[in-house]
Amino acid sequence: MTADSYYSQSSRRVGWVDFAIAGLLAGLIYALVTVAHEWGSPLQQAPVIHLEASYLPGYALLSLSRGVMAYGISFLFTLLYGYAMARVAGAERVLLPALDILQSVPVLGFLPGFVLGLVHLFPHRNIGLEMASVLMIFTGQVWNMTFSFYASLKSVPPDLVAVARLARMSWWTRFFRLDLSFAATGLLWNSMMSMAGGWFFLMVSEAFVLGDRDFRLPGLGSYMSLAIERGDAKAQWMGVLTMLGMITLVDQLVWRPLVAWSHKFSDEPSTGVTHSWLWEWIRSSRIWQATAKIVLSVLARLRPSAANKKASVHSPTEEVRSIPRWRKPLVITLVGTGITLGVVKYISLLATLSVHDWLNLLGSTGMTFSRVLAAVALASLWTIPVGVMIGRHPVWSRIMQPVIQMAASFPAPMIFPVVVGGLLAVGTGLGTSSIVLLLLGTQWYILFNVIAGCAAIPHELWEVSRLSRFSWRHRWVRLILPAIFPSVLTGWITATGGAWNASIVAEYMKYRGNTLSTMGLGAVISQATERGDFHLLAAAVGMMAFTVVVFNRLVWRPLSRLAQTRFSLET
């Protein structure tokens, strides 16, 4: 089962590729040392951030390290939570709604808890603050990955499960070679989206005011915040370019090779495969081949044959691992007590708010709600026609896909000030401008999905529409719109979720020494955080989560059902 013959087929060039990889490893070690140094240094609540260009690479490295660590945590969380949700009997009923609510809580909602708790835990070192920042990036990344993994686990083909059982695979083998392998493709695409989602709140995650304390961590996000606050246009440009460079680098060095590699997990014949220059080179380099060989042989040893033998032989219908019967009441009591306690605490926190506060909250919710809807509507207006145009032409999609992907992973809040500056100059207030900001952040999700949906329309249906001499209007109403509806819906759901979250940075910002704000739930959350008004913050975050969940239940869920039944392209 070794890969000997496979690797000996590819040429064994020892050349600059190997040197490059060695160099990369050296760089990685340097980066680790730098990051460790930053983490271990004494707590500096708000270190001086320098706007000179020479500091940018270091800042980018620090931000990247936070993103990567957050991703690592997201990945572990996804494996644990997703697996439990799909495979532990009864867990789904609790964990699925919990995940639904968690993902609707805006990133800032987690901030005070993380920061205050962790800074208390490590009062003298930077590590607490760093961890809080990482955890906030994590909350921007994790949820869609978890959902994807869960959905994959639920759809593992029963025949493959039967094969795994007949082969008496151990739990580990089965997890790696069946569950994780089957989920790999979906997990990878969602990882790319998650990384982008994490960058979205980079500025907030690295520089925030909590009550009377101003927290800053050296990084690209805090650099951008400062540049925007000071109105330093040159620094802003440099920051944006560095961010773009970092995203491109990660895309070329990490995601492309991974996507190329992940084709082996897909069932479809590999036509039109994403090519990665890096993957081709790495695969043919000596260092890689040697490493792969070692890893494979180690993996081959990891085969406790004794444990294997008893695995799953005695339970003919073993499917889900269930909690032992006697423990069930215990688990339910514990979880129940925890939830009750949390709810009581939360309500007592809210009890201090006045009627006026509540009315204000309701009004703000209404404002943000309309902005979110307006942004999604506006985004649909341009992305649907453009997306259909791109999706119909495979050549265009191939060219545009990477461009759009880059645009989507760029954190829109970094260019908010520039846009707002322009709009204010024309005479629009922040109330209206923030719609444009929400649009900037979320339109890509719709565009992506429209392109994918349109590309999936069977060729024959286009031909029928031509043969039946559909008018332009008919073609849209009878063919395109119904066919792309399921994908557009997915785009809408993601976009509205993103827009709610983005309202926090769109409705309230520091710009050229001034504070701009407009009435809205996002502004309330930002202000409450800054003032350290945790009662108001708790109420506002709860309000947002509640609105999002209710909207999901009342609007998106019935529409999804419709999409799956009436508008499914499978007949």
Partner 1 sequence: MNPTAPILEIRHVHRSFPSPDGGTVEILQDINLEIHEHEIVAILGPSGCGKSTLLRTIIGLESPSSGQILYRGQIQSGLNPATALVFQNFALFPWMTVRENVAVGLPALGLSEVENKQRVHDVIQAVGLAGSEEAYPKELSGGMKQRVGLARALAVQPEILCMDEPFSALDVLTSEALRNEVVDLYTGKGSPVNTILMVTHSILEGVFMATRLVVMGAHPGTIRGVLENPLPYPRDEHHPDFLALAQKIHTLITQSMLPATPVLPGHEGTTAPLSVQSIPHVSLTAAIGLLEVLENEGSQELFQLAHHARMEPGQLILVVKVAELLGWITTTHGRVEMGAEGKAFLAADINTRKQRLNVTLRTIHPFDLVLEALKQSSNNEVSEADMLQVFARAFPQEKPARVLRTVVGWARYGQLFNYSSPRKMFQGIQPTGKQA
313 belongs to the binding site for partner 1 (CB under 8 A)? yes
Shortest distance (Å) from residue 320 CB to partner 1:
16
In sequence order, which residues have a C-beta less than 8 Å from that of residue 9 and are 6 or more positions away?
Answer: none
Collapsing DSSP states into helix, strand and coil, what is residue 170? coil
CA 39 to CA 494: how far, in whole Å? 34
308 belongs to the binding site for partner 1 (CB under 8 A)? yes
Helix (H) or strand (E) segment spanning residue 215 = strand 213-216
In sequence order, which residues have a C-beta less than 8 Å from that of residue 28 and are 6 or more positions away?
Answer: none
Write the DSSP symbol of residue 326.
T
320 belongs to the binding site for partner 1 (CB under 8 A)? no
Shortest distance (Å) from residue 182 CB to partner 1:
8
Kindly determine how many residues on this chain lie close enough to bind partner 1 according to the rule CB under 8 A.
39
Q: Residue 308 or 360: which CB sits closer to partner 1?
A: 308
Backbone φ and ψ of 530, nearest 5°: -65, -40
Collapsing DSSP states into helix, strand and coil, what is residue 444? helix
Which residue reads 């109330």 in tokens? Answer: 431
Write the DSSP symbol of residue 155.
T
Q: Which two tokens stand for residue 229?
A: 């606050």
Q: Residue 160 or 389: which CB sits closer to partner 1?
A: 160
Q: Residue 177 or 478: which CB sits closer to partner 1?
A: 177
Which residue reads 């999700």 in tokens? Answer: 445
293 belongs to the binding site for partner 1 (CB under 8 A)? no
CA 143 to CA 146: how far, in whole Å? 5
Q: Residue 311 or 528: which CB sits closer to partner 1?
A: 311
From 124-132, 156-164, 216-224, 470-478, span contacting partner 1 (CB under 8 A): 156-164
CA 259 to CA 56: how far, in whole Å? 29
CA 515 to CA 561: how far, in whole Å? 44
Q: Residue 10 or 468: which CB sits closer to partner 1?
A: 10
Q: Which of residues 269-288 bind partner 1 (CB under 8 A)?
A: 269-270
Of 17, 107, 184, 207, the one binding partner 1 by CB under 8 A: 184
571 belongs to the binding site for partner 1 (CB under 8 A)? no
159 belongs to the binding site for partner 1 (CB under 8 A)? yes
181 belongs to the binding site for partner 1 (CB under 8 A)? yes
305 belongs to the binding site for partner 1 (CB under 8 A)? yes
178 belongs to the binding site for partner 1 (CB under 8 A)? yes
354 belongs to the binding site for partner 1 (CB under 8 A)? no
Of 42, 54, 124, 268, the one binding partner 1 by CB under 8 A: 268
Q: Is the dihedral of CA 19, 21, 25, 28 positive or negative?
A: positive
Shortest distance (Å) from residue 177 CB to partner 1:
7
- Distance in Å from the first CA to the final CA of the chain: 41
User: Footprint of partner 1 on this chain (CB under 8 A)?
Assistant: 1, 5-6, 157, 159-160, 162-163, 165-169, 173, 177-178, 181, 184, 264-270, 303, 305-306, 308-309, 311-317, 565-566
